[in-house]
Amino acid sequence: MNVLLQVLFWVALVGTVTSSIYCLMVLAAAARFGLRRRREERAAAISAFLPPVSVLKPLHGTEDGMERNLETFFEQDYPEFELLFCARNESDAGLQLAREVGERYPHVDAKYITCGEPTPQFHNAKVFSLAKLDSVARHPLYITSDADVRVTPDYLRKMVQNLKDPHIGLASSVYLGTVHRGHAAGLSSQIDAVGKSVEMTSGVIVADMLEGTKFALGATMAVRKQSFVDAGGFEELGQFYADDFVLGNRLAARGTGVRLATHVIRLLVEDTPFGLSFRNQLRWMQSTRRSRPWGHLGTGLTFALPFGLLGLLWGLLSGHALLGLVWLVAMIVNRWLQAGAVLRVMGDSDWIYGMLIYPLRDLLGSILWLGSYGGDRFYYRGQTYRLREGGRVER
């Protein structure tokens, strides 16, 4: 029993120290990001750099809130841009919805394209759609975005500023996870959304602070046409599930500038049952484990709630119940500080609620992290895939 208690104590202590150090790093990175964001927003408001851009949007079916998501792209305050939508076939519900929305904005240059089913060398259907869009785009500067992205009217104006420096080949944004039904949605979806806002952004801004940005976030990117070529081309990128990470990582390795944009977008999260939400989040954790194995391994030491619970268990078993309870409360406060800092600097008006529920996401995140080591197969949109080393994926 004494040995078990010592193991519990030391594991809980080490995790408490590492997660606390990580929390301090997040607080510093959030302050740095906030200063950058205010400075760059002022510069964007007066910038004359407004080149024509092509907006590339792959589509596949519809989801809650998608109509409003699409509308926000037609409502851009930008002098010259084209909207390019691509789905596998004309009957795709997402493409049909985009056409219906486009009819309400006849002044916007929009095109609706089909690409057919992905060819065998493309295991990533989104990249297959991007390759088709690339072939018809008129401008050399691209803004790419997923169907679940919702933006403000100044989105293009602010994103394109990242390409003002000709040495920058790509910039991508962090995002606020937003549940379509708000507080009426299930708790699992709300936890998923706050995880996308806090857990993802924390890791990104800390990495940017420590070593610069050597990756990309595919929800939305400002990227040069040439950057896809420099990263190996669409057929090569189409072999990976996390094509965005590979694109940014390869550009950074070549010495091409990759940066973290300070403009924050919203990423709509569907209100789904816990089981489906868990499976979707696990899929991303599995992908991260394959794409950057050592970094993913170290992520296990950034969670706080598991070590707080171990500290509580140690206190109960060792006769120090009050100390164990204080230990757990300290780890909850740790996560409140992290979430509050990140959500506020990202401009989330509902940051208090997100901060309060974030400890639950931290605990779930640790479970997902453990689960990511349990297998290499996942199911996604009618297909079963296997993840290979380096993040390659195959049916």
Q: What is the pLDDT of residues 165-196, one digit of tens each?
A: 999 999 999 999 999 888 888 898 999 999 99
CA distances from 107 to 88, 142, 149 (A): 26, 20, 22
CA distances from 293 to 134, 278, 389, 391 (A): 31, 21, 9, 10
> CB of 386 within 8 A of CB of 377?
yes
Closest CA to 174 of 143, 207, 148, 204: 204
- 3-state SS, residue 178: strand
> CB of 162 within 8 A of CB of 272?
no
Average the pLDDT over each of 72-86, 88-102, 256-270, 369-383 and give the range with the smallest value: 369-383
- The superfamily in CATH containing domain 2-394 is Spore Coat Polysaccharide Biosynthesis Protein SpsA; Chain A (3.90.550.10)
Q: What is the pLDDT of residues 310-324, one digit of tens each?
A: 999 999 999 999 999
pLDDT for 288 beyond 80:
no
pLDDT for 36 beyond 80:
yes
> CB of 324 within 8 A of CB of 315?
yes
Which pLDDT belongs to residue 48? 94
Q: How confident is the model at residue 388 (pLDDT cuts 50, 70, 90)?
A: low
Burial profile 33-45: b = 16 or more Cβ within 10 angstroms, e = fewer: bbebbeebeeebe
Which pLDDT belongs to residue 283? 76
Give the distance, in angstroms, between the CA of residue 136 and the centroid of all CA atoms in the same chain: 27
Burial class (CB in 10 A: 0-12, 13-18, 19+), 52: middle
> CB of 130 within 8 A of CB of 102?
no
pTM (two decimals) = 0.90
Which pLDDT belongs to residue 130? 96
- Please indicate whether residue 84 or residue 395 has the higher confidence score (pLDDT): 84
Q: What is the pLDDT of residues 221-246, one digit of tens each?
A: 999 999 999 999 999 998 887 899 99
Mean pLDDT of the chain: 91
CA angle 212, 370, 30 (to 5 degrees): 30
pLDDT for 33 beyond 70:
yes
Which pLDDT belongs to residue 107? 95
Which pLDDT belongs to residue 125? 87
Domain ranges of the chain: 2-394
Which pLDDT belongs to residue 270? 86
pLDDT for 282 beyond 90:
no
Q: What is the pLDDT of residues 80-108, one digit of tens each?
A: 999 999 999 999 999 999 999 999 999 99
Q: What is the pLDDT of residues 123-133, one digit of tens each?
A: 788 999 999 99
pLDDT for 385 beyond 90:
no
- 3-state SS, residue 15: helix
Q: How confident is the model at residue 197 (pLDDT cuts 50, 70, 90)?
A: very high
